[in-house]
Amino acid sequence: MNMTHYMSLLAENQPWNLIIFMVIPVVCAEFLTITEFFIIFNKIKSGGLRTLNKIVGIFAGFYFTGIFVYLFNNAVIPLTQSGGWHTWVDQVAVGFYLSGVIALLPIALMELGIIFKNKSDDEKMKIHFILISIFLIVAHIAMIFGMVDPSIINDMSDMDHMKM
């Protein structure tokens, strides 16, 4: 079966690529989502849960930014230059996965007080919740398209099976 580069990346170098590129970012996002519900519904402004949420938000934002830079330089640019994409489905999967940086990096920057400094605590909680929701949506779109066999879109017999 032919795979998108997204799935190839996760399938190679088991279990490390799966842990590095999927488990760590998704567990962080799920942790942020769950703690976000407790923080919002209980209007928690400080304390252990809020501190842990802040630490995970900072870590996730910078961790995923590192993934973005690494994959952009080592996968997106080479695949684009060589024409190695496995149809538009492959591009959607990788593109949506990498677009997660648009949601996670601002969370880290907000938690560090670099952006949204003049927003109230309630406004920041709302922005935080929206950003983590965006990440979960784009990550799930990436997973869905990443699992599609690109050969159902186009016969891939003439394509090089490049590895990331």
Rounded Cα distance between 136 and 156, Å, is 30
What is the per-residue pLDDT across 111-155, written as a single tens digit (0 to 9) for each? 999 999 999 988 998 999 999 999 999 999 999 999 998 888 876
- Closest by CA to 104, choosing from 55, 52, 62, 53, is 62
What is the per-residue pLDDT across 15-66, written as a single tens digit (0 to 9) for each? 999 999 999 999 999 999 999 999 989 988 899 999 999 999 999 999 999 9
Structural domain boundaries in the chain: 5-147
DSSP 56-103: HHHHHHHHHHHHHHHHIIIIIHHHHHHT---HHHHHHHHHHHHTTHHH
- Closest by CA to 37, choosing from 99, 129, 105, is 129
Tokens of 33: 């989502």
